[in-house]
């Protein structure tokens, strides 16, 4: 048997096939998206702030802040089994603003990730005309925009951590204590 990995295009798994995986089978990121984390209780410990090119800006050379952070998704049922994503990039402006002050102290921020109205969000939802002034109405705004055919620009919103409840804080403390001795 040949040790040449290029000897057969059908060499199969377990061989020295350097092309054993198709691009469609490769996971593009091990990190969750903000949409994946929406409405989850998070503990975020920012570790680094850096200036990076703003790929959404139309101005040449524009820069934006980006934070690297350890993000833990608290499992309310079994806090000791909560999942931590180390060195996750966070670029959402409002969330970066909430986290900046915790870098020097290596502090942590607890809260539930939610969509909040942005400065340029519509004042009311397109179908029910509900005032857009909190995370629930921002979620409704997004739902109604989709129901209306997702026409025009997607409504703006800001990702931020919402305040936690005492029950959520207890779950986070249980997670923290389970990690403290390790």
Report domain extents, the chain.
31-114+160-180, 121-155
Question: What pLDDT, on a 0 to 100 scale, did the predictor assign at position 7?
Answer: 54
- Indicate the range of 14-28, 82-96, 129-143, 161-175 predicted with least confidence: 14-28
Nearest to 37 by CA among 156, 162, 132, 147: 162
CA distance linking residue 166 with residue 179, whole number of Å: 20
pLDDT digits (tens, 9 = 90+) for 27-73: 666 789 999 999 999 999 999 999 999 988 899 999 999 999 999 99
The pLDDT value given to residue 149 = 92
Tens of pLDDT along 100-153?
A: 999 999 999 999 999 999 988 899 998 999 999 999 999 999 999 999 999 888
Write down the H helix ranges in the chain: 34-37, 93-99, 135-147, 166-180
Predicted local distance difference test score (pLDDT) of residue 90: 97
6-20: average pLDDT = 60
């Amino acid at each position: 048997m040949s040790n040449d990995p290029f000897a057969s295009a059908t060499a199969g798994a377990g061989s020295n096939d350097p092309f054993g995986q198709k691009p469609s089978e490769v996971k593009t990121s091990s990190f969750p998206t903000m949409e994946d984390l929406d409405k989850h209780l998070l503990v975020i410990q920012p570790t680094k702030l850096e200036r990076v090119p703003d790929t959404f800006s139309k101005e040449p050379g524009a820069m934006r802040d980006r934070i690297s952070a350890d993000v833990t998704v608290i499992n309310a049922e079994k806090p000791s089994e909560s999942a931590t994503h180390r060195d996750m990039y966070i670029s959402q402006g409002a969330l970066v603003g909430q986290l900046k002050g915790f870098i020097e102290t290596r502090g942590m921020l607890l809260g539930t990730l939610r969509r909040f109205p942005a400065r340029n969000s519509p004042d009311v939802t397109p179908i029910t005309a509900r005032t857009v002034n909190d995370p629930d109405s921002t979620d409704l705004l997004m739902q109604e925009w989709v129901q209306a055919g997702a026409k025009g620009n997607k409504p703006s919103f800001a990702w931020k951590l919402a305040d936690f409840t005492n029950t959520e804080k207890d779950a986070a403390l249980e997670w923290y204590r389970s990690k403290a001795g390790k």
